[in-house]
Amino acid sequence: METVSENACFGGVQGVYKHHSSATGTEMTFAVFMPEEAKDGPVPVLWFLSGLTCTHENAMTKAGAQAWAAEQGIALVFPDTSPRGESVADDEAYELGQGAGFYVDATQEPWAKHFKMWTYIADELPSLLTENFEIDMTRQSITGHSMGGHGALTMAMALPGRFRSVSAFAPICNPTESGWGRKQFTAYLGGKADWGAHDATILMQSKGFDGPMLVDTGTNDQFWDLLGNEAFSAAFAAKRQEGIIRLQKGYDHSYFFISSFMEDHMNFHAEALWA
């Protein structure tokens, strides 16, 4: 692991790092915020999975999470959204290819060689963090935005016992019925057989999440029709899932929306992580 940068931040350290990934076969970059409390021993961690077109940098610089993480003594991890490089398959469309990994392990060409984002986030990066940072992996929570909200919800439900809490900002929560899902799943996964394992609505119907869940979406979200809020809300209610779904009046899909409610989400996760 190579240090790209480290900066003092709210009493802690905001770092950016890169390493060669065995999962993706590429160099991957990620960011970690370590609060001051990490000097005295391992701290809980909150994962932030970002959305379409994003890198590790978007949420790190725009979400405003570090101030609240420092207040709660929680580490933050900001992974990238896909493998990158000249040898990595890509597409002219912003919603497929580099910057649009959708947190799945691709099985179809030309994507299968590098697009192993599920394995990277679920297995490889946690091991790397354990080796290099004072993070307590028995106390993890996860959040994300849009495509990253999709990743957060699906990982939380598909990996029982891994995360103590899960939240999402404007998640893509019914991708098998959305243009933000069907196109990508067809490209990455092929036929529909395995799509349900990466659809938060279907996972809610079959599994649910053993812990608290918080989902925020703006009523002025310009991508509302692609998110699948109605289907997920119905599954949430039918499952009697512990948690809250909120519609925030007047907010859109931007990081202004995320930063407006980041304190709520940090406090929500802190309650679970420090319980």
**Residue labelled with tokens 């909120």:** 246
Asked if the model's pLDDT at residue 63 lies above 90, the reply is yes
Phi, psi of 4, deg, nearest 5: -85, -45
150 is catalytic: no
Q: Which of 80, 199, 216, 221 is catalytic?
A: 221
What local confidence, expressed as pLDDT, does residue 248 receive? 98
Residue 27 has pLDDT above 90, yes or no: yes
- Mean pLDDT, the chain, integer: 97
Question: What mean pLDDT comes out for the span 146-156?
Answer: 98
Contact 146, 99 (CB under 8 A): no
* Banded model confidence at residue 192, pLDDT cuts 50, 70, 90: confident
Q: Residue 126 to residues 51, 74, 95: CA-CA distances in angstroms?
A: 20, 16, 26
pLDDT for res 191: 86
Stretch 208-219: mean pLDDT? 98
H or E stretch covering 140: strand 135-144
76, 45 Cβ separation under 8 angstroms: yes
Catalytic-labelled residue, pool 50, 82, 146, 165: 146
- Binned at pLDDT 50, 70 and 90, residue 193 comes out as confident
* 145 in active site: no
Domain of 59, CATH number, reads 3.40.50.1820
Using CA atoms, how far apart are residues 61 and 119, in angstroms rounded to an integer? 26
How many other CB atoms are there within 10 angstroms of residue 19's CB atom?
15
| Span 113-123, average pLDDT | 98
Question: What is the rounded average pLDDT of the residues 82-91?
Answer: 96
**Mean pLDDT value across residues 18-29:** 98
250 close to 218: Cβ distance less than 8 angstroms: yes
As a whole number of angstroms, the distance between CA 5 and CA 2 comes to 9
Return the pLDDT at 235.
98
Cα separation of 84 and 89, whole Å? 8
Q: How many separate domains does the chain show?
A: 1
pLDDT digits (tens, 9 = 90+) for 195-209: 999 999 999 999 999
Across 132-146, average pLDDT: 98
Q: Considering 56, 150, 198, 253, which one is annotated as catalytic?
A: 253
Q: Which two tokens stand for residue 106?
A: 């691709």
Predicted pLDDT of residue 76: 98
Inter-residue contact 117 to 131 (CB < 8 Å): no
Which one, of 250, 203, 38, 209, lies nearest residue 134 by Cα?
38
Alpha carbon distance 202, 235 (integer Å)? 8
Burial 79-99 (b: 16+ CB within 10 A, else e): bbbbbbeeebbbbeeebbbbb
pLDDT (tens digit per residue) in 87-114: 999 999 999 999 999 999 999 999 999 9
Q: Is residue 194 very low, low, confident or very high in pLDDT (cuts 50, 70, 90)? A: confident
pLDDT at 187 over 90: yes
> Does the active-site annotation cover 252?
no
Please state, in angstroms and rounded to a whole number, the distance separating the CA atoms of residues 40 and 254: 36
Q: Nearest Cα to 13, choosing from 45, 36, 47, 42?
A: 36
Range of the domain at 259: 2-274
**pLDDT at res. 44:** 98
189 SS3 class: helix
Mean of pLDDT values over 134-146? 98
- Torsion region of 150: left, alpha or beta (phi above 0 gives left; psi -120 to 50 gives alpha): alpha
